[in-house]
């Protein structure tokens, strides 16, 4: 899924996602932290957003980007009037200019911009059933002209550094690609080699399928076989995790098996350039996704479930402003943070040092991300749209210089969240410290996940 335009236009896919989540699953079991196993430096891999940035480059104040160590934006003028290239040349310009503005904003904060040509083309999910697609009736002339125009505009505007070109979004959903798979695959091969020729060194991403890697998925199977023989493997492999199911460890394992069985390298960048359904975009779900992405070293961009101009606002539901829910004004300011934004801020500002290995609960609904600095160990904990009690087990406390047994004072912060995506949270709540007795070099403590929204941070000195 991409934006909530697909909720408007393809009610079945969204209904499926919500049906899964509305069960309000329960979480139990133990998530663990291996204090003795370092997994490298933190780089805020999850701090990306799909759309979420207004065309006015100064509308959202700097602090909202800088404080979360913003990494990625992905856009292409979707849902703006004029229907892109297939609507009119003016429609193309409107969408290209929007993408250019978002590129500049992204670069201002040191982020990387992923360009969405399908939105500039006009296949944003809102196109009519009779809309044209690249290569219809075997004729590629119009698409080649589109690429010529796009490449020329990228060059003219120096859109070079920090740019990734995402060949086509979610071709495995008919709302974005209502044509045979074989036509998509031909489009991939043509576009890849054309971009490599005319924009030497450009970074290409794909396939950005809505469905995660699976050997039994014919899109994955046929596309990967094709890129191997066509020598068109992307520099950045992308797919989406927005079904409300699946997890990053199994998804990456499937991806590696698909690629290696076709002789393709599996060490390229992975970017889940849309992650989380709307119900996961609260503090708890944000923490869950951060832990999932960091574990497998995948970049991620929060999915965007807003429509129209709101799609180009709110940093993918990280921030809010007066009237956001019921008197929306696309150009208004007055932004304030949500609990989710506070999670990403803590992730960027406080979770410094070295990452250590963690494992989720066996039911995969309870997660922990952990870092060790010179003085402090910090954990970020949350569930995936689930309530219940689960445990965090800290293993090998001696590895961070603590005794094998004793009492450990753990300080708790609460990223208090509710079912309101627009609710304000100016700072995490200080929930105080508690002394936990432990022995055997291991300490377990409970997480009372009473609602499916709130995330927690835990800190202790070493």
Ligand X SMILES: *[C@@H]1O[C@H](CO)[C@@H](O)[C@H](O)[C@H]1NC(C)=O
Positions that interact with ligand X (CB under 6 A): 181-182, 186, 189-190, 193, 218, 222, 230-232, 346, 349-350, 413, 428
Q: Nearer to ligand X by C-beta: 162 or 189?
A: 189
Q: Which is nearer to ligand X, 212 or 428 (CB)?
A: 428
Q: Which is nearer to ligand X, 89 or 193 (CB)?
A: 193
Q: What is the SS3 assignment for 237?
A: strand
Using DSSP's 3-state secondary structure scheme, residue 399 falls into: helix
The β-bridge partners of 391 are 30, 446
Phi, psi of 260 (to 5 degrees): -65, -30
Shortest Å, Cβ 249 to ligand X = 27
Closest distance of CB 80 from ligand X, Å: 30
Q: Cβ of residue 219: shortest distance to ligand X, in angstroms?
A: 7
257 vs 442 by CB, closer to ligand X: 257
Q: How far is the CB of 61 from ligand X (least distance, A)?
A: 19
- Residue 412 and residue 456 in contact, taking contact as beta carbons nearer than 8 Å: yes
DSSP 176-227: T--S-HHHHHHHHHHHHHHHHHHSTT-EEEEEEESSPP-TT-HHHHHHHHHH
Minimum separation from the CB atom of position 172 to ligand X (A): 10
Cα–Cα distances (Å) from 57 to 32, 99, 137, 228, 445, in that order, read 42, 12, 41, 40, 45
Residue 104 or 179 having the CB closest to ligand X: 179
Token couple for 213: 């890697």
- Closer CB to ligand X, residue 51 or residue 346? 346
> Residues 414, 420, 422, CA angle at the centre, nearest 5°?
95
In the complex, least distance from residue 210 CB atom to ligand X, rounded to whole angstroms: 15
Helices (H), 48-140: 62-66, 84-87, 89-108, 117-121
Q: How many helices (H) and strands (E) does the chain have?
A: 12, 20
Number of residues assigned to the chain = 462
Distance CA(154)–CA(158), nearest Å, equals 6
The residue among 59 and 222 lying less far from ligand X, judged by its C-beta, is 222
Least CB distance from residue 378 to ligand X, whole Å? 8
Q: Which residue is nearest to ligand X (CB)?
A: 189
Q: Which is nearer to ligand X, 9 or 429 (CB)?
A: 429
Q: Is 43 helix (H, G, I), strand (E, B) or coil?
A: coil
Beta carbon of residue 46, minimum distance to ligand X (angstroms, whole number): 18
Burial 77-88 (b: 16+ CB within 10 A, else e): bbbbebbbbbbe
Query: By the 8 A CB rule, do 234 and 273 touch?
Result: no
The CA distance from 105 to 57, in Å, is 6
Look up residue 97 and give its two tokens: 């200019």
- Report in angstroms how near the CB of residue 402 gets to ligand X at its nearest: 20
Nearer to ligand X, 186 or 357 (CB): 186
Q: Left if phi > 0, otherwise alpha if psi is -120 to 50, otherwise beta: which for 377?
A: beta
DSSP single-letter state for residue 310: G
Q: Smallest distance from the beta carbon of 411 to ligand X, in angstroms?
A: 8
Place of tokens 């990306």: 48
Select 152 or 229, whichever has its Cβ closest to ligand X.
Answer: 229
Residue 155 or 193: the one with the smaller Cβ distance to ligand X is 193
- Provide the token pair at 58: 């100064």
Residue in this structure with the two tokens 């430096």, named with its chain if needed: 41
What's the closest the beta carbon of residue 290 comes to ligand X, in angstroms?
15
């Amino acid at each position: 899924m991409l934006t909530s335009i697909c909720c408007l236009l393809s009610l079945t896919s969204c209904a499926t996602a919500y049906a899964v989540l509305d069960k309000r699953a329960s979480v139990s079991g133990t998530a663990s932290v291996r204090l003795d196993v370092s997994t490298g430096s933190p780089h805020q891999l999850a701090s990306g957003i799909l759309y979420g940035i207004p065309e006015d480059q100064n509308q959202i104040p700097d602090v909202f980007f800088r404080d979360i160590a913003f990494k990625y934006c992905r856009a292409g003028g979707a849902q703006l009037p004029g229907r892109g290239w297939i609507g009119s040349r003016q429609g193309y310009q409107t969408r290209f200019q929007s993408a250019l503005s978002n590129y500049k904003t992204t670069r201002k904060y040191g982020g990387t911009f992923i360009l969405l040509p399908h939105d500039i083309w006009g296949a944003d999910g809102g196109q009519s059933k009779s809309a044209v697609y690249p290569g219809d009736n075997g004729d590629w002339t119009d698409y080649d002209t589109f690429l010529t125009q796009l490449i020329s505009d990228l060059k003219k505007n120096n859109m070079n550094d920090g740019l990734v070109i995402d060949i086509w979004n979610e071709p495995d959903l008919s709302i974005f690609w209502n044509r045979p798979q074989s036509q998509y695959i031909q489009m991939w091969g043509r576009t890849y080699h054309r971009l490599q020729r005319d924009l030497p060194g450009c970074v290409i991403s794909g396939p950005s399928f809505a469905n995660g890697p699976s050997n039994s998925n014919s899109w994955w199977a046929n596309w990967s076989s094709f890129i191997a023989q066509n020598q068109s493997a992307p520099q950045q492999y992308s797919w989406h995790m927005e079904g409300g199911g699946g997890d990053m460890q199994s998804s990456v394992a499937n991806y590696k098996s698909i690629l290696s069985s076709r002789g393709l390298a599996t060490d390229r960048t992975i970017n889940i350039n849309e992650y989380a359904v709307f119900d996961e975009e609260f503090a708890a779900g944000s923490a869950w996704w951060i832990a999932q992405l960091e574990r497998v070293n995948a970049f991620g961009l929060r999915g965007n479930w807003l429509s129209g101009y709101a799609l180009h606002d709110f940093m993918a539901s990280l921030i809010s402003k007066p009237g956001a829910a019921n008197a929306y004004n696309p150009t208004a300011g007055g932004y304030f943070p949500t609990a989710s934004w506070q999670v990403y801020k803590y992730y960027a500002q406080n979770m410094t040092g070295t990452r250590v290995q963690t494992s989720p609960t066996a039911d995969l609904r309870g997660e922990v991300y952990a870092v060790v600095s010179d003085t402090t160990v910090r954990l970020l904990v949350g569930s995936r749209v689930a309530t219940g009690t689960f445990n965090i087990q800290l293993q090998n406390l001696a590895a961070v210089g603590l005794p094998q047994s004793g009492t450990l004072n753990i300080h708790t912060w609460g990223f208090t969240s509710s079912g309101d995506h627009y609710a304000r949270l100016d700072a995490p709540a200080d929930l105080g410290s508690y002394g936990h007795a432990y022995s055997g070099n291991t300490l377990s403590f409970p997480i009372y996940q009473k609602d499916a929204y709130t995330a927690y941070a835990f800190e202790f000195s070493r």
